[in-house]
Amino acid sequence: MIDKTTIAATNEAAEARLRADYDALAEQLDRRGIDITAVKDKVAGYGIAVPSWGVGTGGTRFARFPGQGEPASIFDKLDDCGVIHQLTGATPRVSLHIPWDDADPADLNAKAEELGLGFDAMNSNTFSDAQGQAHSYKFGSLSHTRKEVRDQAVEHNLYCMELGKKIGSTALTVWIGDGSNFPGQVNMTRQFERYLDSTKAIYAKLPEDWRLFTEHKIFEPAFYSTVVQDWGTNYLIAKELGERAFCLVDLGHHAPSVNIEMIVARLIQFGKLGGFHFNDSKYGDDDLDTGSVDPYRLFLVFNELVNAADTPGFDPAHMLDQSHNVTDPIESLMNSAMEVQRAYAQALIVDRPALSGYQDENDALMASETLKRAFRTDVTPILQMARFEKGCAIDPLATYREAGYRAKVAEARPASTSGGGGIV
Amino acid sequence: MIDKTTIAATNEAAEARLRADYDALAEQLDRRGIDITAVKDKVAGYGIAVPSWGVGTGGTRFARFPGQGEPASIFDKLDDCGVIHQLTGATPRVSLHIPWDDADPADLNAKAEELGLGFDAMNSNTFSDAQGQAHSYKFGSLSHTRKEVRDQAVEHNLYCMELGKKIGSTALTVWIGDGSNFPGQVNMTRQFERYLDSTKAIYAKLPEDWRLFTEHKIFEPAFYSTVVQDWGTNYLIAKELGERAFCLVDLGHHAPSVNIEMIVARLIQFGKLGGFHFNDSKYGDDDLDTGSVDPYRLFLVFNELVNAADTPGFDPAHMLDQSHNVTDPIESLMNSAMEVQRAYAQALIVDRPALSGYQDENDALMASETLKRAFRTDVTPILQMARFEKGCAIDPLATYREAGYRAKVAEARPASTSGGGGIV
Amino acid sequence: MIDKTTIAATNEAAEARLRADYDALAEQLDRRGIDITAVKDKVAGYGIAVPSWGVGTGGTRFARFPGQGEPASIFDKLDDCGVIHQLTGATPRVSLHIPWDDADPADLNAKAEELGLGFDAMNSNTFSDAQGQAHSYKFGSLSHTRKEVRDQAVEHNLYCMELGKKIGSTALTVWIGDGSNFPGQVNMTRQFERYLDSTKAIYAKLPEDWRLFTEHKIFEPAFYSTVVQDWGTNYLIAKELGERAFCLVDLGHHAPSVNIEMIVARLIQFGKLGGFHFNDSKYGDDDLDTGSVDPYRLFLVFNELVNAADTPGFDPAHMLDQSHNVTDPIESLMNSAMEVQRAYAQALIVDRPALSGYQDENDALMASETLKRAFRTDVTPILQMARFEKGCAIDPLATYREAGYRAKVAEARPASTSGGGGIV
Amino acid sequence: MIDKTTIAATNEAAEARLRADYDALAEQLDRRGIDITAVKDKVAGYGIAVPSWGVGTGGTRFARFPGQGEPASIFDKLDDCGVIHQLTGATPRVSLHIPWDDADPADLNAKAEELGLGFDAMNSNTFSDAQGQAHSYKFGSLSHTRKEVRDQAVEHNLYCMELGKKIGSTALTVWIGDGSNFPGQVNMTRQFERYLDSTKAIYAKLPEDWRLFTEHKIFEPAFYSTVVQDWGTNYLIAKELGERAFCLVDLGHHAPSVNIEMIVARLIQFGKLGGFHFNDSKYGDDDLDTGSVDPYRLFLVFNELVNAADTPGFDPAHMLDQSHNVTDPIESLMNSAMEVQRAYAQALIVDRPALSGYQDENDALMASETLKRAFRTDVTPILQMARFEKGCAIDPLATYREAGYRAKVAEARPASTSGGGGIV
């Protein structure tokens, strides 16, 4: 964890400037009929989950270039996640990936308690082979042609739920790499039937208070077709499985130019939006930092969420899911959590009655401008004040760098080796 | 119609060559365990609908460059459609667009009978304003914010069904241009609710023996969002409406790189594939001639259809839907009908037991090769023999040109004027 | 023109609020080491051209839904352009399209002087046929297979330059619809040779103080290939022609996911960036309002421009080029001109020394944050103050609506008829 | 190597069928005015290079699932390449990747001679870090901000040329992973300047009889921008470097929907087409087997190549470059080499005078049909006869499986371990 005096010192240096900016913004928002305190309180209460794998340095199929002080175990990863939450106050939960993060649940709980963290959805990785695994997932897992492979994948999911129950998780996220690399390689119908059979077997064991999230993705690691390729198939799955099955939307898992907030709106309308994997992208599933490429797209998603906030039972899960290849993962995750908060705050200050009126009158320009006006508002002071009042860092990046955390763990942790990627 | 002696003469010149090629192919297929006669009979029995608008010269928003002898009325259009069917034997039905083709049903029936044609699905155009129309569709039709506009659009659909009943149609196809051009312009959820209300009102009046086809499209004329943007939303519609509502798949209406045959497979599996609008494209909804850009993609769609052929009640509608900007529309439609037959014939000769075996064994390469082998087979002699035996042209393009049909109608019909496109 | 008292009245109501916001922003920028006055002065001096066709209501190949009071002639169009500039102070020049806007140059000059406008680049439309034209452009213009068609297109370009010289224009913009709709339709090499021959003939007559802009576009109206498909081909053209030939970048004319600011950077580096056609898009060449879909992308383009501002001889032309299908075109153009100013202002306040330092140190996160920080800044008060000080409207949209201009011209101008689009 | 008696035996079983099919095709082509022998001879003389890495099992950033009997060294890889050439007669050269394949040149030459192979272009991998490397390529190689890193990368390229000279290679292929993952991370102009400086240093040492190929790629491993993103930038490089610098076109390295054969045509026209990396793809750089997804696209590329075949000095390099994740790499490479031959043979039988005539007359339909007719022709017998007459296998896949090569090497070679991909 970061030394509290470092936080206090960096905050002290920034406080006066923050108060000036916050007051100016408060006055401006007041003129627009918006109570800044209400917005700040909602932002302060917002939390997003961090994926355990995200605190390591990612890579591509060509190479992985390790960073300094990479976490060597799930407990190291939790330490890093603890720092992120300590400074931002925005990431109270960690989402584990099994088998990568498999450990004694008592140890996991103890560590999480120490860090003030909880556990979010469990992720059952069957897109790669673990050492000693009886059957390979080379040709699929839950939808494999052979029953013994499917059974093994189902068992692994049940195991994830068992572990999750012991650490306070209440959701299972299923993303698989099954699909095909050639036209004709699979019978798409039979493959999907097998997938449904497997997920039904998992769903049958889903604890009563849990939700099952299935995640679609248009391609990769399967390059010709994936068994859950888009939200249409994802919706069919959630319907087939039952009331506690929902669709997870990863912002990078769509065909080029697809309107993502519309998918969000449809899934909300039909009661099947389970949650998000936030990240950003330019070309495909680039797994770039959330909000770094197209911040307006992120805002438009939050606009749909705020719009639907009063829907009874509406409670989508929010998780980051991004790969950090060239940055310090802790910095990227802090920054991304703040970007999500920013989009949320901007969506909160949309003048919804005005928007609704313009929509009814087909005043396209003013409807567009109503969204743009909220998006243009620099809500940074709101985010900073929310953090400051919680004892977190006004400027988490500056405080983190000031604290020298990375250098310290680099001394304590073994150096990670360069990876060759999958291509050779 | 084309003079029968022209057909006979051009066929006579080609017959010997056809018989030689047919026999060689028969022998080759026989070695592969395939009975060429069975394939030929299925091809001979296959028919695809032609859209009435397709026999006119299309254009873009920038310009329309008219061709010679363009049809001036639905009766001219039917004449042209008659020629297409006379020479190819592959296009027994015409799909009307209302109000463009509105006419006395008795006259339509008389003309169709004269030409040996029938009528396919009715298309209710509410994507443009007709002269004298009470309310404009500028801001939408079935999903418009104002009830009177929606009602008008619903009424128009009911009218289309009334007319259709009198001319033997048994299906209504609904494609609308509703959507938005700006983020925020519409509330996507309320817009879709209005759409569902309107289509339910139409469905309530659907004749017992009719099917309702809804068609999705990712963009254009709405450039930010469309109310029926993809097969996921299309499926939701068909489910909401009822058992006689189905999804129509237009090959050009998808996001870039989307796997279309997979959508076909999913809709078949869930009982909601209504039919096709065939065309081809490179960039978007280019409406190019079917099979002209990516013939393997067309084959893969037919591979799914042949694979599902024995599904009880499986009977998707086949229609061409393409715009002819630089060719003689009759030539393009003849050629496209033959390309669809070609894909069908190729799909029929896939060695399905072998394919199934390779799929079960995850022998991706041989599964792929099994499809490729069928696709590589030049089935032209099968198509030609099927035509020849029905009294149609062995080579419809050559016969059509020989007959000089275009020059004749160019004399009889008024010249069409150049269009300015929509952009100005 | 808008009554000055309306401007004064609406400004008066907004002035106090503006001064408060401007002062708060000035203080904030001052803390960041930025002099708001310098930024404001640059914004005040910035101008972007408006395309004459943009003040009419656009459409798609499916339909055109006219608006009220559409301009019936180039003089009406100039009136509308005059209002845009009167209220925003940002659009001092109009870009004409010939033959649409052909008129007596003396009349054009007189009208422009009356309105305080000048003329920007001339556009030579050979993508559609004008009435009475000897040869059709159905199969191309500057690259047509037949010499007489190419000659006619060249002549038209020379005519545009002649006219342009008389009205003070100093640039010719050439965008053509030439290409192909089928694989094989054209020999791509010979087609490009013909294109180069034609443009060389035009370039040979280019006045000494003029620039020639060629514009690329990936598709439409040609749907399989276009003769100037991308910036690579565009660059080859500019190199072949000579020192006064440059590439024009339209933001909507690229393949999906292409990095546009990188193209801008490359063309600047190699001395061939001629200018821009600004608009926004989600799917293709959607011609939506600039900055309405992805404002960060627009900012990133301006970031390159400001970065290169000190390059000797660097003087790209700025023009809007967008189609207004569902809004009042005057409102859209005013708003878009302001969006461009906004992006410019945001790019001006990027901390370039800091950015450069982060880039040198490979501190990707802080480099990204440096851009984001500038983008997040709400520069609206700067834009408003720049307008206010020039006697323009603080809030042009509000003033325009208050003035009731659209209703007035709707009375004076003949109603425009609904268009059918190009598709039928 | 495969036992010759196995080849002879499997050929014997297939010979009669081959002769029948070949004769039938000869007769059909003769009717079309085509001499089958001339086509067969050209196909027989055609060769394509195989990349050494391609005989290993590839993977994604998520996982690599090893196959049986994977090559453990460059000498094992050469053995596998020898089998491919032995059976297909189509892959006489191997393209090495350094440092992966670094070895004593004498040993390489001896092994190659033993297998009847030669060496194609050298590939200088600077997209990943090799063990013991002084400076990391995490933030780039030839375009890195720091001179010592660029120098190291330049040195590596010089080393590749030194090695290549000793083994008979005459070309260097440079593909780098340099780019950025965030807007703002790099100054695109300065990055490209550094890249040009580095490649100029390499080019300065290029042996007189060598060619330098630079390869563009739109994204990955850099996800926001790459320094050589498209053919436009690639062309600039080749121009800057000099006469022996050429552009390499990888079929999977383009933005969605880009017309690749047009890029090929442009590069030919401007004298800068260096060669190809063949593969196929559906979504991005999928590295799927050549011709497996869109065989018509491959044919259209070869149509341009055959069209330009008589251009003086025209001699592009042909290489496969694909990743085999779910197939036996030897099978995929054999099959892909044959697919390329197929496209070549189909392009050879295009009726070019007829095509040219239709193009001149703007008869788009018949021009398209002329290409389609050649593409539809099943040229398999030509390919088989060419192999048979050279002592290769009529059906390489069947012979390879019959010979049991994979099982044999699986016994002799150590098992490869499952890889985790780059993502964690």
Q: What is the DSSP letter of D54?
A: G
User: What's the whole-number mean pLDDT along residues C290-319?
Assistant: 97
H or E element at residue B388? helix B380-389
Q: What is the DSSP letter of B377?
A: S
- Structure confidence by residue, pLDDT tens digits, B98-127: 999 999 999 999 999 999 999 999 999 999
- Contact call for residues C98 and C123 (beta carbons, < 8 A): yes
Whether the per-residue pLDDT at C230 is higher than 60: the answer is: yes
The chains found to touch C (3+ Cβ pairs under 8 angstroms) are: A, B, D
Measured between its terminal Cα atoms, the distance across chain B in Å is 39
> Which CATH homologous superfamily contains domain C4-420?
Divalent-metal-dependent TIM barrel enzymes (3.20.20.150)
Please give the C-alpha separations between residue B195 and each of A291, A355, B191, D112, in angstroms, as whole numbers: 33, 20, 6, 69
Whether the per-residue pLDDT at C147 is higher than 70: the answer is: yes
- Contact call for residues B210 and B246 (beta carbons, < 8 A): no
Q: Kindly give, in sequence order, each residue whose CB lies less than 8 Å from that of residue A250, ignoring residues fewer than 6 positions away.
A: A175, A215, A216, A217, A276, A277, A279, A285, A321
Nearest to C368 among D182, D188, D371 (CB): D182
- Full DSSP string of B308-371: TTTSTT---EEEE---BSSS-HHHHHHHHHHHHHHHHHHHHTS-HHHHHHHHHTT-HHHHHHHH
Nearest to D422 among A100, A286, A422 (CB): A422
Are C17 and A31 a contacting pair at CB < 8 A?
yes
C-alpha span between A44 and A396 (Å, rounded): 15
3-state DSSP assignment of residue D122:
strand
User: What's the whole-number mean pLDDT along residues B323-343?
Assistant: 98
> Nearest CA to CA, how far is C384 from chain A (Å)?
14
C-alpha span between B385 and B41 (Å, rounded): 10
pLDDT bucket at D418, cuts 50 / 70 / 90 = low
Whether the per-residue pLDDT at D420 is higher than 60: the answer is: no
- Structure confidence by residue, pLDDT tens digits, D343-368: 999 999 999 999 999 999 999 999 99
pLDDT at residue B419, rounded to an integer: 66
- Walk across the sheet containing B211-215 and list its strands: B97-98, B122-124, B171-174, B211-215, B245-250, B273-278, B317-320
3-state DSSP assignment of residue C265:
helix
Residues of B in Cβ contact (< 8 Å) with D20:
27-28
Are B355 and A307 a contacting pair at CB < 8 A?
no
- Structure confidence by residue, pLDDT tens digits, A151-182: 999 999 999 999 999 999 999 999 999 999 99
Whether the per-residue pLDDT at D421 is higher than 70: the answer is: no
Burial of C407 (0-12, 13-18, 19+ CB in 10 A): exposed
Q: Hey, how many other C-beta atoms are within 10 angstroms of the C-beta on A242?
A: 12
Torsion of CA C158, C160, C161, C165, to 10 degrees: 140
Are C326 and B185 a contacting pair at CB < 8 A?
yes
User: What's the whole-number mean pLDDT along residues B53-78?
Assistant: 96
C-alpha span between C309 and D254 (Å, rounded): 31
C-alpha span between A62 and D59 (Å, rounded): 9
Are B223 and C129 a contacting pair at CB < 8 A?
no
Burial of B141 (0-12, 13-18, 19+ CB in 10 A): buried
- Walk across the sheet containing B93-95 and list its strands: B50-51, B93-95, B118-119
All structural domains of chain C with their residue ranges:
4-420
Q: Tell me the β-bridge partners of A172.
A: A122, A212
Whether the per-residue pLDDT at A423 is higher than 60: the answer is: no
- DSSP-H helix ranges across C295-413: 295-307, 329-348, 352-360, 364-376, 380-389, 396-403, 405-412
**B59 phi and psi, to 5 degrees?**
-160, -170
Pairing of strands C179-180, C225-226: antiparallel
Nearest to A332 among C17, C282, C365 (CB): C365
Which ipTM was obtained for this model? 0.97
> Nearest CA to CA, how far is C186 from chain D (Å)?
5
> Nearest CA to CA, how far is C281 from chain B (Å)?
8
Residue of chain B whose Cα is closest to the Cα of D368: B292
Are B422 and C61 a contacting pair at CB < 8 A?
yes
pLDDT at residue D399, rounded to an integer: 98
Residues of D in Cβ contact (< 8 Å) with B335:
365, 369
Are D423 and A53 a contacting pair at CB < 8 A?
yes
Are C182 and D364 a contacting pair at CB < 8 A?
yes
pLDDT at residue D417, rounded to an integer: 74
pLDDT bucket at D416, cuts 50 / 70 / 90 = confident
> Nearest CA to CA, how far is C179 from chain B (Å)?
11
Q: What percent of chain B has pLDDT over 90?
A: 97
Three-state SS string over chain A comes to CCCHHHHHHHHHHHHHHHHHHHHHHHHHHHHCCCCHHHHHHHHHCCCCEEEHHHHCECECCCCECCCCCCCCCHHHHHHHHHHHHHHHCCCCEEECEECCCCCCHHHHHHHHHHHCCEECCEEECCCCCCCCCCCCCCCCCCCCCCHHHHHHHHHHHHHHHHHHHHHCCCEEEECCCCEECCCCCCCHHHHHHHHHHHHHHHHCCCCCCCEEEEECCCCCCCCCEECCCCHHHHHHHHHHHCCCEEEEEECCCCCCCCCHHHHHHHHHHCCCEEEEEECECCCCCCCECCCCCCHHHHHHHHHHHHHCCCCCCCCCEEEECCCECCCCHHHHHHHHHHHHHHHHHHHHCCCHHHHHHHHHCCCHHHHHHHHHHHHHCCCHHHHHHHHHHCCCCCCHHHHHHHHCHHHHHHHHCCCCCCECCCCC
Nearest to D53 among A138, A282, A424 (CB): A424
- Structure confidence by residue, pLDDT tens digits, B171-214: 999 999 999 999 999 999 999 999 999 999 999 999 999 999 99
Are B262 and A188 a contacting pair at CB < 8 A?
yes
> Nearest CA to CA, how far is B364 from chain D (Å)?
6
> Nearest CA to CA, how far is B187 from chain A (Å)?
7
* Closest-CA residue to C345 (of A294, A282, A376): A376
> Nearest CA to CA, how far is A131 from chain D (Å)?
8
Residue of chain A whose Cα is closest to the Cα of C23: A24
C-alpha span between A329 and A317 (Å, rounded): 22
Distance of CA B246 to the CA centre of its chain: 15
Which residue of B296, B332, B338, B359 is the best one to mutate when testing the D interface, meaning the one whose CB has the most D CBs within 10 A? B296
pLDDT at residue B417, rounded to an integer: 75
Q: Tell me the β-bridge partners of D212.
A: D172, D245
C-alpha span between B356 and B354 (Å, rounded): 5
User: What's the whole-number mean pLDDT along residues B46-66?
Assistant: 96
Are A372 and C292 a contacting pair at CB < 8 A?
yes
Residues of D in Cβ contact (< 8 Å) with B296:
293-296
Both tokens assigned to A169: 């998780």
pLDDT at residue A422, rounded to an integer: 62
Across the C:D interface, residue pairs with CB atoms under 8 Å apart total: 151
Whether the per-residue pLDDT at B424 is higher than 60: the answer is: no
- Structure confidence by residue, pLDDT tens digits, D224-283: 999 999 999 999 999 999 999 999 999 999 999 999 999 999 999 999 999 999 999 999
Q: Hey, how many other C-beta atoms are within 10 angstroms of the C-beta on A134?
A: 7
Both tokens assigned to D68: 């049986």
* Closest-CA residue to C118 (of C85, C76, C160, C87): C85
Burial of C48 (0-12, 13-18, 19+ CB in 10 A): buried
C-alpha radius of gyration, chain B, whole number: 22
Residues of C in Cβ contact (< 8 Å) with D303:
184
- Structure confidence by residue, pLDDT tens digits, C82-136: 999 999 999 999 999 999 999 999 999 999 999 999 999 999 999 999 999 999 9
The chains found to touch A (3+ Cβ pairs under 8 angstroms) are: B, C, D
Torsion of CA C82, C87, C91, C97, to 10 degrees: -30
Pairing of strands D179-180, D211-215: unpaired
Q: Tell me the β-bridge partners of A248.
A: A215, A275
- Contact call for residues B87 and B334 (beta carbons, < 8 A): yes
Are C326 and A364 a contacting pair at CB < 8 A?
yes
Whether the per-residue pLDDT at B421 is higher than 80: the answer is: no
* Closest-CA residue to C320 (of C42, C47, C41, C40): C47
Q: What percent of chain D has pLDDT over 90?
A: 97
Both tokens assigned to C32: 């960041």
C-alpha span between C301 and C318 (Å, rounded): 12
Q: Hey, how many other C-beta atoms are within 10 angstroms of the C-beta on C20?
A: 15
pLDDT at residue A417, rounded to an integer: 74
- Structure confidence by residue, pLDDT tens digits, C175-228: 999 999 999 999 999 999 999 999 999 999 999 999 999 999 999 999 999 999
Whether the per-residue pLDDT at C424 is higher than 60: the answer is: no
- Contact call for residues A217 and A184 (beta carbons, < 8 A): no
User: What's the whole-number mean pLDDT along residues B403-411?
Assistant: 98
**A248 phi and psi, to 5 degrees?**
-105, 135
Residue of chain C whose Cα is closest to the Cα of D143: C360
Whether the per-residue pLDDT at D423 is higher than 60: the answer is: no
Residues of A in Cβ contact (< 8 Å) with B263:
232
- Structure confidence by residue, pLDDT tens digits, D32-58: 999 999 999 999 999 999 999 999 999
Which residue of A127, A181, A324, A339 is the best one to mutate when testing the D interface, meaning the one whose CB has the most D CBs within 10 A? A181
C-alpha span between B323 and C422 (Å, rounded): 10
The chains found to touch D (3+ Cβ pairs under 8 angstroms) are: A, B, C
pLDDT bucket at A319, cuts 50 / 70 / 90 = very high
Site of tokens 């990568």: A100
> Nearest CA to CA, how far is D370 from chain C (Å)?
8
- Structure confidence by residue, pLDDT tens digits, A370-392: 999 999 999 999 999 999 999 99
Measured between its terminal Cα atoms, the distance across chain C in Å is 39
Both tokens assigned to B35: 């009975």
Q: A414: cis peptide before it, omega within 30°?
A: no
Torsion of CA B352, B354, B356, B357, to 10 degrees: 170
Are D185 and C254 a contacting pair at CB < 8 A?
no
pLDDT bucket at C423, cuts 50 / 70 / 90 = low
- Contact call for residues A159 and A98 (beta carbons, < 8 A): yes
- Contact call for residues A55 and A395 (beta carbons, < 8 A): no
Whether the per-residue pLDDT at C422 is higher than 90: the answer is: no
